[in-house]
Structure 1
Amino acid sequence: MLKARDDQHAFVAFERVQKSYDGENLVVKDLNLDIARGEFLTMLGPSGSGKTTCLMMLAGFETATHGEIRLDGREINNIPPHKRGIGMVFQNYALFPHMSVAENLSFPLEVRKIGKSDREAKIKRALDMVQMGDFAGRRPAQLSGGQQQRIALARALVFEPELVLMDEPLGALDKQLRETLQFEITNLAHQLGITTVYVTHDQTEALTMSDRVAVFDDGRIQQLAPPDELYEQPQNSFVAQFIGENNTLTGTVSKIDARTCVVRLDSGEEIDAVPVNVTEVGETTLISIRPERVEIDPQLGPNAHTLQAEVLEFIYMGDVFRTRLRVAGRDDFIVKTRNRADQVRLNPGQQVSIGWLPQDCRALDR
């Protein structure tokens, strides 16, 4: 079972939760997940992986086929959405177009029968939190996309929920605005101590914003970890490929112990790697190496692996150079090097040596 960092303080709990729409095929398979109070957890995965279905079951818009969902120790499977006390932010903002900004924020307070003076104070506080205090009288159509998303966030926070769910809230925004709001949402959630469950298919967004990330595929959590651990120590080939850019080489385990293994590549070379989910000699494996861990004309010392490579592309990207190489029979091996004043430009067809440290190379399932 996948647990929160402090098992006794799990604020949200999924216990053996399953979901099927047709009675045969499971879109969520035996989910066990605890989320700590105040945690910012992101559910990350491709379309159809089950992440949004999990969010909708937590919100109450979908019903679990099997298992139990608890909020602050209380089972909520049969509690309707409007009685769960959960704030929601969607990609399409879901603002009422015929209402002003203030009226949009007032609506969830009126539903909870909060008095007028308290409503006004809460609305002002929520708008100030998202830097929209001067926009109370405008209609949604008079706002930009980024402003509408700030109002949607304020509406989710205005009744001071302990849990906020966000479903691809920044997907419709341009890159620069998206990055700005990523930091604003994260900082706000931590300042207010709100437990946040955030759904996205954007890996950078997940790594930037989260305390932990649950990577979904085929209805299951493939790995649950803090962002740095997820990136640096992927537990299987799906996570390694889905999170960030990744180089892969294929081969067969020729020697193995608890801390290291030797892999004979399909092209014949032998390299050392960290055995992650290979256990015996003869197993086929996929080697994972991050592009920034590889050096061209390496100066890494005697323990480094070196291979010969042919330059296929050398691309200037501003802060980094991206070099595509032919390595061990593959044409998709990428090296990223920081832009330095002494950077030597490489030409297609040029032969170079590349290298990396064995601890940066992981032997995963093929």
Structure 2
Amino acid sequence: MENSASNEAFVRFEGVQKSYDGRTLVVKDLNIDVPRGEFLTMLGPSGSGKTTSLMMLAGFETATKGNIYLNGEAINDVAPHKRGIGMVFQNYALFPHMTVAENLAFPLKVRNMTSSDIETRVKRALDMVELGSFGNRRPAQLSGGQQQRVAVARALVFEPDLILMDEPLGALDKNLREQMQYEIKHIHERLGVTVVYVTHDQSEALTMSNRIAVFNDGVIQQLAPPSELYEKPINSFVAQFIGENNKLNGTVLSSQNGTCQVTLSTGEVVKALDVNTDKAGMSSTLSLRPERVFINPDGEQYDNMFSGKVEEIIYLGDHKRVRMNVCGHDDFIIKVPNSTDKRGIQVGEIVPIGWSVDDCRALDPV
């Protein structure tokens, strides 16, 4: 494909592969387009190929096959420092002997900018991450969250069109990590800069991204906005990796008009959306989110009505996490909002439960 054909995507991976030993592909035929201004997250377990893909885009790794384009230009042979990309790493990579302002000025001095330009940009970048008064401090005098904000400011200071972030919040504690997720999200929204972000943390990806590419075994399993990934996983890997999920294994009994009937090993028949089953007689794994199942449904009729025994109730503030034995599965989870649990269920009770066919997805067997 010619460069001109890549103009509609700001970042494009086209048939990209990566092998370190010439035999095993760490990244297999990666094709992805990132529009200008998007926050795209590459999400997946360790060894899935997400960080390798980011490092090829940065120029720290070379593609074994295929092309990578930035703003319509092939960059496979462009040195990392000439790609004009901002980078934020997990370990901050700040110079300890320099002040915060000197850390931010460094990439500008490398680009031979004037002193007045440098001063203006450093001030603007620090204000952007709400550290305007911290310019004279050294990194050791800052908290972890403040250091990470300095690292973000340094990536922004030369006003790149693209910022790459590799697990940038992994070293922070839970509360600080959640706070930084919102801060980075808001910076992105204010500036409109394109961000490609790598994490193995699914809640982080759901919180921050316009779209998420779920990686496994060097392949993108699904690329979609967060709500679509969660509500409409296209295979069992995505269903299990994103959010909590009940899985029921069975055999496809019949399928028509986009829905199917699946017989469980215990004999019950479940109606589900036919997402990617093969044909009658084939195995399938049903995917069902815990908050889509209802206990004591007050006379309402659902497509799937069963009874279950309450094994355990864990109080989590806004909801109860109820573990039940349903259709022979003793690890079936239902999330019950405390606002709806008027009667109060008890351990040992056998109660009716129900769920809609639209909330149950028949996927590939696992």
| Band the TM-score falls in, shorter-chain normalisation | over 0.9
CA contact (8 A) 2:7 2:71 kept: no
**How far did residue 217 of structure 1 move?**
0.2
For the residue of structure 2 that corresponds to 1:134, the secondary structure is coil
Instruction: Report the equivalent of 1:59.
Output: 58
Structure 1 alignment gaps of length 5 or more: 1-6
Alignment of 1:240-319 (within 5 A): 240-299=239-298, 301-319=300-318
Q: Are positions 1:159 and 2:172 aligned together? A: no
- Distance in structure 2 (CA, Å) of the matches to 1:263 and 1:189: 44
**How far did residue 300 of structure 1 move?**
7.0
Instruction: Report the equivalent of 1:48.
Output: 47
- Distance in structure 2 (CA, Å) of the matches to 1:108 and 1:22: 34
CA contact (8 A) 1:321 1:338 kept: yes
For the residue of structure 2 that corresponds to 1:16, the secondary structure is strand
Instruction: Report the equivalent of 1:220.
Output: 219
- Distance in structure 2 (CA, Å) of the matches to 1:254 and 1:111: 66
CA contact (8 A) 1:249 1:287 kept: yes
Alignment of 1:56-205 (within 5 A): 56-205=55-204
Instruction: Report the equivalent of 2:356.
Output: 357
Q: Count the aligned residue pairs.
A: 360
CA contact (8 A) 2:45 2:216 kept: yes
- Distance in structure 2 (CA, Å) of the matches to 1:314 and 1:306: 21
- Distance in structure 1 (CA, Å) of the matches to 2:33 and 2:171: 30
Instruction: Report the equivalent of 1:340.
Output: 339
Segment drifting more, 240-249 vs 185-194: 185-194
The one-letter amino acid of 2:305's match is: T
- Distance in structure 2 (CA, Å) of the matches to 1:260 and 1:301: 21
CA contact (8 A) 1:292 1:337 kept: yes
Q: Are residues 22 and 342 of structure 1, via their aligned partners in 2, closer, same or farther at CA, if it must alter by over 3 Å? A: closer
**How far did residue 299 of structure 1 move?**
3.7
Q: Give aligned-pair identity as a percent.
A: 64
**How far did residue 155 of structure 1 move?**
0.1
- Distance in structure 1 (CA, Å) of the matches to 2:242 and 2:333: 15
**How far did residue 8 of structure 1 move?**
5.6
Q: Are residues 300 and 37 of structure 1, via their aligned partners in 2, closer, same or farther at CA, if it must alter by over 3 Å? A: farther
For the residue of structure 2 that corresponds to 1:131, the secondary structure is coil
- Distance in structure 1 (CA, Å) of the matches to 2:133 and 2:114: 23
Superposed CA offset, 1:70-101 (max 9, x none): 00011111111100000000111000111110
- Distance in structure 2 (CA, Å) of the matches to 1:55 and 1:205: 17
Taking only aligned residues, the RMSD between alpha carbons, in angstroms, comes to 1.2
CA contact (8 A) 1:18 1:28 kept: yes
- Distance in structure 2 (CA, Å) of the matches to 1:306 and 1:323: 17
CA contact (8 A) 2:7 2:72 kept: no
Q: Are residues 309 and 35 of structure 1, via their aligned partners in 2, closer, same or farther at CA, if it must alter by over 3 Å? A: same
Superposed CA offset, 1:26-45 (max 9, x none): 11000000000000000000
The two structures have a TM-score, normalised by structure 1, of 0.96
Superposed CA offset, 1:300-358 (max 9, x none): 73343111211110010001100001111111110001112753333332211211011
- Distance in structure 1 (CA, Å) of the matches to 2:23 and 2:264: 41
The one-letter amino acid of 2:215's match is: F
Instruction: Report the equivalent of 2:209.
Output: 210
For the residue of structure 1 that corresponds to 2:239, the secondary structure is helix
- Distance in structure 2 (CA, Å) of the matches to 1:8 and 1:94: 33
Instruction: Report the equivalent of 2:16.
Output: 17
CA contact (8 A) 1:300 1:356 kept: no
Q: Are residues 341 and 15 of structure 1, via their aligned partners in 2, closer, same or farther at CA, if it must alter by over 3 Å? A: closer
- Distance in structure 1 (CA, Å) of the matches to 2:340 and 2:266: 35
The two structures have a TM-score, normalised by structure 2, of 0.96
The one-letter amino acid of 1:116's match is: S
- Distance in structure 1 (CA, Å) of the matches to 2:186 and 2:10: 20
Q: Are residues 8 and 282 of structure 1, via their aligned partners in 2, closer, same or farther at CA, if it must alter by over 3 Å? A: farther
- Distance in structure 2 (CA, Å) of the matches to 1:152 and 1:242: 29
The one-letter amino acid of 1:195's match is: T
CA contact (8 A) 1:263 1:273 kept: yes
Superposed CA offset, 1:121-156 (max 9, x none): 000000000000110001100100000000000000
The one-letter amino acid of 1:110's match is: K
The one-letter amino acid of 2:109's match is: E
Structure 2 alignment gaps of length 5 or more: 1-5
- Distance in structure 1 (CA, Å) of the matches to 2:216 and 2:357: 29
**How far did residue 16 of structure 1 move?**
0.4
CA contact (8 A) 2:301 2:354 kept: no
- Distance in structure 2 (CA, Å) of the matches to 1:32 and 1:133: 40
**How far did residue 199 of structure 1 move?**
0.4
